[in-house]
Structure 1
């Protein structure tokens, strides 16, 4: 189940093809649903191929069209460290005058980290979601069983001075992460391994 990706506006968006469709990881800037659909099309997919989606964290280049996808009936997986960030995220977009579809809090698919492997398996995806609060407190990463890990904006371990960030990378390595796929820039090896 390798990660597949497309990019626009300096951000990479990832897809994992499971037995029951696609899981999308990070979903575009506000007002860019057309660009997101075009990116899917470039890989031979449509919005109807998405089984569910998640975001690495609630910044506009990662979650800007989350409400719009959710309003189209695509389940939105949200993890314990993320839900509190939604209000601030939407408030920021409103203050900046950005057009966006609000996220339906009642319809969120809330997934505890310890249940992420089981939940992903229901979509036919082998992997788990880890809390990786290096870039922001709500950051998560998607670790696939093959060692690929979508990390959002988490920088490589060698760029981190603080031990907390390096400890997060050690966790990713201990859980089998081998190659990191960031939202900006090229993939890189997971440096902090047991």
Structure 2
């Protein structure tokens, strides 16, 4: 097991989508992966913050839509393994149906995919020095996941904010789970970082 180091979080996003580099020293995890055909932009943004691509131990998509996972295969070819939750496997080939030829999307192959269960996530993360777990948080799509760190930071992808999820019981249940698990600070895929209570919303019944 790698030596545990303080966790830092940096946004390397572009085109209105946040891509988060979660680091324990020089052991790093990329949460959400980038638009297809934008490897040069991702590399440039990583260089700006002084993160070598080789230090990214895994790439993790919160869900398989092109703005979140379109760059996955290109990153795999650069040596970054793709961490896939078992509930996400069937969504990967469907993503291609949302792309156009001009997107320059590269099909995600099975080679280089590390498929795990939610129960295995804490152990996998601990091996790269990150204390936390991956949780199933449907509400935007059935295969959506969130990364919850033990310090309360949570990376929620496109999970609809509670304030706007009053008619989405699935999303409300996901927020309830995150609160029960200790989430305090939300790192969304779009928009600013917020306290989980910064914008009061309608919570699911106890």
List gaps (5 residues or longer) in structure 2. Answer: 1-6, 198-202
Q: Provide the rounded CA distance (Å) in 1 between the counterparts of 2:176 and 2:9.
A: 21
**Is residue 2:90 matched to residue 1:84?**
yes
Which residue number corresponds to residue 108 of structure 1?
A: 113
**Is residue 2:163 matched to residue 1:158?**
yes
Which residue number corresponds to residue 143 of structure 1?
A: 148
Tell me by how many angstroms 1:106 deviates.
3.6
Q: Provide the rounded CA distance (Å) in 1 between the counterparts of 2:62 and 2:111.
A: 20
Q: Provide the rounded CA distance (Å) in 1 between the counterparts of 2:97 and 2:55.
A: 30
**SS at 1:123's partner residue?**
coil
Runs of 4+ aligned residues of structure 1 deviating over 6 Å after TM superposition are none
With the length of structure 2 as denominator, give the TM-score of the two structures.
0.87
Name the stretch that deviates more: 9-18 or 97-106: 97-106
Which residue number corresponds to residue 200 of structure 2?
A: none
**SS at 2:80's partner residue?**
coil
Report the RMSD for the aligned CA atoms in angstroms: 1.8
Aligned length: 193
Q: Provide the rounded CA distance (Å) in 2 between the counterparts of 1:169 and 1:141.
A: 10
Name the stretch that deviates more: 120-129 or 95-104: 95-104
Pick from 58, 62, 65 the counterpart of residue 56 of structure 1.
Answer: 62
**SS at 1:2's partner residue?**
strand
**Is residue 2:31 matched to residue 1:44?**
no
Alpha-carbon distance change, 178 to 21 in structure 1, aligned in 2, over 3 angstroms: same
Tell me by how many angstroms 1:19 deviates.
5.1
Which residue number corresponds to residue 28 of structure 1?
A: 34
Q: Provide the rounded CA distance (Å) in 1 between the counterparts of 2:45 and 2:20.
A: 10
List gaps (5 residues or longer) in structure 1. Answer: none
Q: Provide the rounded CA distance (Å) in 2 between the counterparts of 1:88 and 1:6.
A: 26
Q: Is the 8 A contact 1:2 1:146 kept in 2?
A: no
Q: Provide the rounded CA distance (Å) in 2 between the counterparts of 1:28 and 1:103.
A: 13
Q: Is the 8 A contact 2:136 2:146 kept in 1?
A: yes
With the length of structure 1 as denominator, give the TM-score of the two structures.
0.93
**SS at 1:40's partner residue?**
helix
